[in-house]
Each structure stands twice: as C-alpha cells, then as structure tokens.
Structure 1
Amino acid sequence: MSATVSAYLNIYQIFPVESTRTNILGVLIALASISIVFQALWYRRALQAVNYIPGLRVPFHPFSGPGAVIPTTWWNPGLSFMWKWRRSMYAYYGCDTISLVPFFVGPATLYTSNLDVVRQVIGSSGGKKFHKSKASLTGQIVLRWGMNIFVANTHVWRKHRRIMGPAFTSILYEVVWAETLKTYREMVAEEGWSTQDRISIPAVQSLTFKLALLIIGKCGFGFQFSWAEPARTADGRMAVQEALRISADSFKVSLFVPWWIKILPFKRFKEVAEATTELLAFMQTQVAERKADIRARGSAGNDAFSMLVKASENEEVKYRMDDSEIIGNVFIMLFAGHETTARSLSATIGFLALYDDLQEEIYQQIMSVVGQERDPVYQDYIKLNKVLAAFLETLRIFPPAYFMVREAFEDTVLRVPTGEEGATAVPVPKGTVVIVDMIGIQYNPRYFDDPEEYRPSRWYEVAHEPEAFYAFSNGPRQCIGHKFATTEAVCFLTMLLKDYKMEPVMKKGETKEQWKKRVLSAKLGLTLGVEDVPVDFVRRKNI
C-alpha cells in the first residue's frame, strides 16, 4: 500500500496540479483562438459573397433558429424587421439593395426593394439564373408535405403548372362568384343575422377564414361542405381550418425545436403533432376517394384537385404525379388559397370601417352597378373597380406573402442601381441568397406616393396591376390563384357593403386613430396580416 501511495506522490511531483490546470487552460485558449480565426475567415468570405455591399451586420440570420426565435431588437433583426424597419432601413444605407451578413449563424444575403434588381432575379430573362430556395423558411415548411407548385423549379414547376393551369379559367371564376354569393347567404342565415339590425363581430377573421376555406374547398376541390357543416379531418376530431391554423402558427416549433424535445408531454407539442397527423390523414383520404371516383366514372372533373389526382394515373411519365406531389399541392392550395385571402379580407373590412367617406364612395358604386333589387353577377366584376381597388390597396399595405427567396444556381452578376450615377455590377457567387422584400417594394416612395396612406384610388383607373404590385408575385411565377382570390373578394365585399355599413368597435375613450394603431397593426408569421378586427355590421335600411 505504501508503495502505491509513493507512486502517486511521485506522479504529482512530476505533473503538479497547477501544471495540469495550466495545460487545460492552454488547450482551451488554443481552441478558442482557432474558432475565432475560423469564424473571422468565414465572415470575410460572407462579406465577399455580397461584394461588401453596405447593410446589416448581426449575430444571427432572421431565418435561423436563434434569429427567428429572438424578437426584433436593435441588435437582432428577427422575423419582423422587414415590417418594423420598413421606413428607415433602405433610407439609412442610401440604396434599395442592401446586404445582411451574420457573424455566427446563417448565410450572407442580399435584400432588395428595387424593381430593376427584382426583374433580374425573378423576371422571365434574368430569373433563369435564380431558383426558388428549398432551404428557405417557407420552402422547408411546405416541402414537409411534398413537392408542389410553390417551391418547384424548372421542368418540375412546368409540369405542375401544366397540370393545374387548365383549371383556372373564366369558367372557374364564374363558379367562384356563384359559390361566394351562396356561402354569404348561408353565413347570414346560420349566424342569425337575418333578424338583427346590428351585428357585433369581436374578430372578423372568424368569418373570413371560414369563408375562404369553404370557397377553396368547394371550387378548387369539389368538396361538399357548408357554413353549418365545415370541413373536418378524417376521424372528425378536428376542423380542417383549425388544423391548418395550428400548422401555420407553429412553424417555429416545426423547424427549430429538436425532435427529442417535441416528444415531451407539453400541450403545445401534442397539439402540433395532432394537427399534423389529422391534416395529413384528411388529405390522404381525399386523394384516395377522388382516385376511386375517377376510376369508377372513367373521367375527372375540371377542378384543380381532380386534375392533380388524374395526373397520378397518367401513363406518360413526363406528366405523372406521385402521391407526395399531390399531397404537397393539396396543402399549398388549402393553405395559400384561404390564408392569404382571409387575412386580406379582414384588413380590408377594417380599413373600410375606419374610413366612412371611402366606404360610402364604394357603396355608391355598388348601388349604381348592382342596385338593391338584385344580386351581383360575375359580369359585374369589371365594373366594380372601386371594390377591387380597396382589396388591392390592402394587399399593398399588408402583402400576405411578404418576401420571396431566390438562390443563385450559378455564378452571375446583378446590376444594382446606385441613384443618379447609374448601376454597379455586383458579382453574385453560386449559392448566394437574394430576398425580394415585398414590404420594401410596396412602401418604396420611388413607386408609390405617400406609401403609408391607405388610398384605393391608386388603382381606380388601372386596367392591370402595375409591375410594382407584387402581392401576387409577378412574371411567369405569378400566383396561379390570383384571379380566384380577387373574384372571391369582390363578390363578398360587394354583398357585405350592399347589406351593411361597417363600423369599428372601439374601447371606451378610444379614438379612430388609436383603434387603427391597435388593430391595423401587422401580425407576422408565415404570412402577413393584422390583429383581430372588431367591427359592427349595421343593416343599411336602419341607417
């Protein structure tokens, strides 16, 4: 025993404790130094990737885990910075195109609110050098359900567009108008409005989201749902609208929370898992039933869903879709087809309730075109330009899809305007991310006078949306459901304004300006909308 103790004592004499601690500290310092050098080199390469264009230098990219979770502050952009800094960001750097380079997490990125740059990135000519990024925030979310028209590129996108495109014709838009009119009547009856002169709605979104999902379900999928019996998941445990809402609102959980945390017994995680499972089961059931129906009848309907399902049976491999592609497109149609329209309708109602003179002006046009004796018909759409203008101006103020992500798939060059001096050629290496800031475009005084002002008259004499209007994207990748959404919106708003005057529900002592600041304030997630809109609908005959 004494020999063993002596041996240990000899070791401590040879390697004293202090020396061991010093060695460990030295190793840690060396590792830290290597890490700092590596990070500095990485940061330098990131600056080179954006050609040292001035811009934000931040710890985390807004679309990275920590960058998305931490709120927008002076040192962290967060997910809301494009909205919160819209008035000052580009002006501060003196250019409509800036860079964002994180110190620690995320890729170097170019942000632009300049149409000349946008044309190069997503236009029919220059856009060929940029693809939609599957690694983007929205790309990761929607790809969980399967490849779809929203994220597809090149020949895959052309296949999806070729299959779905024929469904979106004037015949469909007439059906959309008729179903919107019918659903409006169902809403009035089922909500018990027929016997009421004043209806108080704590959050108008409760109506618009239900309406929009019913219309896309009926017209895009041929589902036989009604206001009294909306769509439910396969086992009936959850409304499809609720499952979609949970899926959209929980994108941070889906993307940034590790799987081993998601399995913990927390209510939120259970809710997200259940919504995902129920929604997937609903879509799979609908696909299986539609396949069986098409096989039994020997033909498919003209709705987009039937065309998707029929494509899975196509013997020509070039235009065949597998089940994951069908599910992916079903999800994007259900989600985008109701989420964006519902949010924009809610905000439009809020603006019209706020501005009495504007509401009256639009009401008078409805009376001159439609009158009180009949319902509006699809042929009235083109004459109701002021109703459409109110909706388009809301889309400008609060663009639901508020950014587009593109990635250079080869080394290329962007010509970035530099004011009166012309343009600077900016080398863009392969893999560089470029984000089209739709909020920045819609609030750019270069394209819109007094961009903060809600002014539908901008669109009164405009036959088609100008290039600066990017709420539905632009160019060859413009939203396939563009006319679907505007048709639904014009019909619903026409009926609502024809029957009711809208008034804001304000708190005690609150002014209209305070109501506007509280209610018509941006609410950002996967899409951009506003806070809950409380309004009263007052029957016209009693005004």
Structure 2
Amino acid sequence: MASIQAALTNARSVLDASELSVRHVLTTLSVVFLVSRIVAYRRKLQAVSSVPGFRVPFYPLGAPGALLPTTWWNPAIYWAWNWRHTVYKQYGNDTISVAPFVVGPAGFYTANLDIARQVAGGGHKTSFVKPKEASKALLLWGMNLVTADGNTWRNHRRIMGPAFNSKLYELVWKQTLNTYYEMVAAEKWSDKKEIEVPTVQLLTFKLALLIIAKCGFGFSFNWEDPPRAADGTMTVQEALRIVADHHMLMIFLPKWIQNLPFKKLKEIREARDQLMTFMHDQVAQRRADIRDKGPEQETAADAFTMLVKANEDEVAKYRLDDVELIGNVFVLLFAGHETTAHTFAATLAFLGLHQDIQDDVYQQVFSVLGHDRDPTLEEYNKLDKVLCAFYEALRMFPAGYVMIREAFEDTVLHVPNPVGQEGNTTLAVPKGTQVVVDMIGVQYNPRYFDEPEKYKPSRWYGVSNESEAFSAFSIGPRACIGRKFATTEAVAFLSVLLRDYRVEPIYQPGETKEQWQDRVLSAQYCAYAWGFECAN
C-alpha cells in the first residue's frame, strides 16, 4: 500500500511539474508575442511618422478587419463611406495614417488630389506602383488595362486607345436610344400616364447590361430575349448577366466551394464556362473577318471588334494574346455595367427629390428636343445640364472608392497643409508602405466642393467634359478609358427619359421626403422606389 501511495505522490509531482512547465511556456510565448507586437507597432508608427489617424487592431483592407463590421475600434472596408462627413475633420487633415497594432501593414489614407497625382504618376516620375493584390478582382478573365502596370500597361493602352473612338460613341448613342424604346415597349409604358417602379435597378441594370453587350461586345441582344434557348441551354445574354452579377463570388470563393453541387453555383459555373468558350470563338471569328475584309473596308463599330482590329494592325511584338483581349473586354463589363446602372438610379433619385433641379434639366431638354424628337450625338454638348445631373450623382456615389499604390522605394510625399494654412509638409514614405487614395473622401472634401453633402449639379456648369476637376473617373494617365462611353450613354438615356416622364419618389405611408432620402440613398438599400409620370 505504501509503495502505491508513493507512486501516486510521484505521479502528482510529475503532473504538477508538467503543468507548471506548460504554464511557463505559455506565459513566455505570450510575453514574446506581446513584446513583438509592441516592437512592430512602434515601427509602424515610425513608418507613418506618427501622422494622426487610425490606431486599431486590424488593417481596414485586409483580413480579418475587412470582414468585420465597421465599429469605433474597427474601421473595416466601408469606413470611407460610413464616416465620410466626419473622419478627416476629426484628425484635422485630409491625409491620415493607419497603424494596426495586431495585424496588418502601416499606411496612409488621403482625400487629397495633389497626393493622388503624386502616387498615380500623372505626367511625372513616381515611386509608386499598383500592388498585385489590389487588382485580383479584375484578373479572372485575363490581364487587362486596369490591372497591368509599367510597360505592360503601356502596351495594353496602345491597343485599347484606338478602340474608343467616334464610331464607338455613335454606336453607343444609337443603341442607347434603341434600348430605351425596347424597354418602354416591353414594360408596356406607352399607354400609361403614371408608372410605378418599386425597384428601379431592375431596369437600369438591364439597360446598362444590354448597352455594354451591344456596344462593348457587339452582341445583338434584345430586352425580351429569354434566359434559355428552346433546347434548354443558357443563352449568351443570360450567361453575361450571371457573370456580371456574381463576379465577386467567382473571385473570392475558394475553388472547392465553387465546385459544390448547389444549383446557384452550378449555374455560375455553366455561365462562366459557356462565356469563356464563346469569347474565344468570337476572337477567332472577328480576327478572320478583319483579315478577309482588308484594311480599307469598314468593320463593326463595337469595342470588341475594334479592339481586335487595333491588335491586328499592330506589329507582332506589341500584340495582345487572346486571353488579354478577352480580359480587356470583360473590364468593360465589370467597370461599366454595375457602376453605370447604380449612377442612373442615383441620378433619378436625386432628380425626384429635387423637383426644381429636374425642372431646370427638363427645360433644357425641351429647348433642344421639343416634345418628341430624339437627340443626336451632335447635340451632346447642348444637353450639358443632363450630364451635370449625372456627374453630381456620380460624385456623391463614386464608382471606384479606393486607388491603392505602394512605394517600391523609400520616397517622400508633399502633403498640402490643412485648409487655411499655406504650403506643404514633406512626409517620408518607406519602401513597401501603401498610400490609399480615398475617392469617396475626395468627392466629399470641402477643399474642393462647397457643401459637398448637397446635390448641386450646377457646380459642374461650364466645366469641360474632359476636365480632371471631375475626378470620380479617376485622374492622370490611368483615368477611366470608358469615361466618354459612360457619359454618352448617360446623356442619351436621361434626355429621352426626362423628355417623356417626370420622376417622383414613392413614399411609404406617413414618410417625409427627408425620411425617404435617408432610407433610399443610404448606399445600403438597393430598391430605389419612385414613380414616372408622363411629362407631356
């Protein structure tokens, strides 16, 4: 018995010693981790020169910070919108820093256009490049103008530039008007004096998709085309719609999840595979047609055909391969479909809220067109108030909300001092530090806009259509190549819609105009609801 008790005592001693050892190890590891975080945090503060800004656990654009909701301790990915009216005032400047003390790199956020030009490289040498991870979402279909950098970008720009010309804009104008009339007929508006549209994006998304399909891809789609062919296979139009709607899922869902046997995932895979096969066939077909016609014969005016032609006209060493051609065409889809559709919806919402502005725009439309004549492309500049209404909606709901650049060498930024203080402050930027241009912050920066929270299309009256004063299409040599495509589509569509209909909000019972605005224009509510009343 005594020996058994001795054995148990020895065992307890061993266990107690082991437990104590584990505790020592855990304590040591915790201390080491804490010290390493403190050291890393001090280095991050040094990297941003202790410029005031976010001192938070996680980097807003990385995991896990981007996946968590926006709170006082975690800005997350949407802080630029949620805090657009307050954050730069809080820190006393339109350039702030971020230094996460748990996970993520140090960096800068800026709502200043001077800094945007310094990092974008507009007209001068720059020490900044676009980090690869910032372009991941647009690489699914192939290298393209938006994701490329350096000499690769210049080569893509060399091919893409000629595709965006007057012939393309004439096609956009014509097809926008045709698609508008298709919509009116298919939705049976012609015989109604008042039309209720509970979710206007269902119309604007379809309209923008069809115009991109017709003018970007050269497809002969119609408003009433069915999603499935007679044999049950998915049509190209439906495949294009599914790919446009679910692009981000295709980017960020792991492959093993995408391959699970669920109906929606199967549908996305079918759309992706069909569209990729179809696009490769289209490149080959268009290349053959262009070679058969020769240099003197007219080719189709859609961007896809012109892109293939521009590629064929180049010497061999500058030509893009088929995947790169397809990648550039799909950039048109993802850059021009959803953003244009949302901006149409926002423009109509603001015009519905501000009847005086809508009346002013209508008077210009009526003075140019009368009651029933369609506009011509030559009248684009005469309808400048229509464009200004679109511009101001895009300013308040900018399509691209960040421009990310990373220093590839130790460099400096010349940071303009706060409003009211002259001169600049030189800011050291170590190699590897990111500078994020907050495009929402730019559009709401009182340095550039009086009463930036108010919808005031008049701020754009007299501003050249190509001016960088309007920066929502980005700035510098890498500004959106599709800007004229989008504005041509906008002026054509909004002119005929406002010629024919007055736009008014649909209020819920007891709802005020201010409550409707808070509910509908929150950037979180996707069912903009209003009515169209016949203007004549």
TM-score by length of 1: 0.90
- Structure 1 gaps of 5+ residues are 524-529
Separation of aligned partners in 1, 2:416 and 2:476: 20
Contact 2:239 2:275 in 1 (8 A): no
Separation of aligned partners in 2, 1:297 and 1:123: 36
Which string of whole-angstrom CA distances, capped at 9 and with x for unpartnered residues, describes residues 159-202 of structure 1?
A: 11111111111221111111101111111111111122211111
Separation of aligned partners in 1, 2:381 and 2:226: 31
| Aligned-pair CA distance for 1:244 | 1.3
Contact 1:232 1:239 in 2 (8 A): no
Aligned AA (2:146)? F
Contact 2:239 2:271 in 1 (8 A): no
| Aligned-pair CA distance for 1:314 | 7.8
Separation of aligned partners in 2, 1:43 and 1:204: 48
Separation of aligned partners in 2, 1:454 and 1:434: 29
- The answer to whether 1:217 aligns with 2:213 is yes
Separation of aligned partners in 2, 1:288 and 1:368: 47
Separation of aligned partners in 1, 2:290 and 2:83: 56
- The answer to whether 1:506 aligns with 2:507 is yes
Query: The residue matched to 1:103 in structure 2 has which SS?
Result: coil
**How many pairs does the alignment contain?**
523
**Aligned counterpart, 1:207:** 203
Aligned AA (2:244)? L
Aligned AA (1:460)? Y
**Aligned counterpart, 1:290:** 283
**Aligned counterpart, 1:531:** 526
Contact 1:214 1:226 in 2 (8 A): yes
**Aligned counterpart, 1:526:** none
What does residue range 1-400 of structure 1 map to in structure 2 within 5 Å?
9=7, 12=10, 16-126=14-124, 128-136=126-134, 139-229=135-225, 235-236=233-234, 238-248=238-248, 250=249, 254-255=251-252, 271-272=264-265, 274-296=267-289, 298=291, 299=293, 301-309=300-308, 316-400=315-399
Aligned AA (1:157)? W
Aligned AA (1:321)? L
| Aligned-pair CA distance for 1:344 | 0.4
Separation of aligned partners in 1, 2:245 and 2:481: 22
Separation of aligned partners in 1, 2:130 and 2:445: 24
Separation of aligned partners in 1, 2:382 and 2:314: 45
Separation of aligned partners in 2, 1:165 and 1:484: 13
Separation of aligned partners in 1, 2:21 and 2:258: 40
Which string of whole-angstrom CA distances, capped at 9 and with x for unpartnered residues, describes residues 350-391 of structure 1?
A: 111111111111111111111124211111110001101100
**Aligned counterpart, 2:296:** none
Query: The residue matched to 2:337 in structure 1 has which SS?
Result: helix
Contact 1:177 1:378 in 2 (8 A): yes
Cα distance change on mapping 1:171 and 1:260 into 2, 3 Å: closer
| Aligned-pair CA distance for 1:464 | 3.7
Of 500-509 and 418-427, more deviation after overlay is shown by: 418-427
Separation of aligned partners in 1, 2:43 and 2:112: 25
Separation of aligned partners in 1, 2:49 and 2:199: 47
Query: The residue matched to 1:436 in structure 2 has which SS?
Result: strand
| Aligned-pair CA distance for 1:286 | 2.1
Query: The residue matched to 1:415 in structure 2 has which SS?
Result: strand
Aligned AA (1:432)? T
C-alpha RMSD over aligned residues: 2.7
Of 333-342 and 30-39, more deviation after overlay is shown by: 30-39
**Aligned counterpart, 1:527:** none
Query: The residue matched to 2:470 in structure 1 has which SS?
Result: coil
Separation of aligned partners in 2, 1:378 and 1:276: 40
| Aligned-pair CA distance for 1:466 | 4.7
Separation of aligned partners in 1, 2:317 and 2:287: 21
Aligned AA (1:279)? R
| Aligned-pair CA distance for 1:324 | 3.0
Separation of aligned partners in 2, 1:45 and 1:414: 19
Separation of aligned partners in 2, 1:376 and 1:241: 29
Contact 1:438 1:471 in 2 (8 A): yes
Contact 2:417 2:423 in 1 (8 A): yes
- Structure 2 gaps of 5+ residues are 294-298
Query: The residue matched to 2:57 in structure 1 has which SS?
Result: strand
Separation of aligned partners in 1, 2:199 and 2:468: 33
Aligned AA (1:285)? F
What does residue range 382-531 of structure 1 map to in structure 2 within 5 Å?
382-419=381-418, 420=421, 422-464=423-465, 466-523=467-524, 531=526
Cα distance change on mapping 1:294 and 1:474 into 2, 3 Å: same
Contact 1:115 1:468 in 2 (8 A): no
| Aligned-pair CA distance for 1:504 | 0.6
Which string of whole-angstrom CA distances, capped at 9 and with x for unpartnered residues, describes residues 425-462 of structure 1?
A: 11112221111111111111111101111011111122
Which string of whole-angstrom CA distances, capped at 9 and with x for unpartnered residues, describes residues 64-96 of structure 1?
A: 232122111111111210011111111111111
Cα distance change on mapping 1:289 and 1:235 into 2, 3 Å: farther
Which string of whole-angstrom CA distances, capped at 9 and with x for unpartnered residues, describes residues 484-530 of structure 1?
A: 1001001100000111111111101111111111001123xxxxxx6
Separation of aligned partners in 2, 1:532 and 1:354: 16
Cα distance change on mapping 1:8 and 1:378 into 2, 3 Å: farther
TM-score by length of 2: 0.91
Cα distance change on mapping 1:375 and 1:421 into 2, 3 Å: closer
Cα distance change on mapping 1:327 and 1:181 into 2, 3 Å: same
Contact 2:123 2:476 in 1 (8 A): no
Contact 1:129 1:408 in 2 (8 A): yes
Cα distance change on mapping 1:65 and 1:314 into 2, 3 Å: farther
Contact 1:111 1:436 in 2 (8 A): yes
Cα distance change on mapping 1:317 and 1:59 into 2, 3 Å: farther
Separation of aligned partners in 2, 1:388 and 1:520: 20
Separation of aligned partners in 1, 2:92 and 2:313: 54
Q: Percent of aligned pairs with the same residue?
A: 51
Which string of whole-angstrom CA distances, capped at 9 and with x for unpartnered residues, describes residues 392-430 of structure 1?
A: 000111111111111112221111122325222111122
Aligned AA (1:369)? V
Cα distance change on mapping 1:456 and 1:272 into 2, 3 Å: farther
Separation of aligned partners in 2, 1:377 and 1:180: 11
Contact 1:121 1:127 in 2 (8 A): no
Query: The residue matched to 1:401 in structure 2 has which SS?
Result: coil
Of 468-477 and 324-333, more deviation after overlay is shown by: 324-333
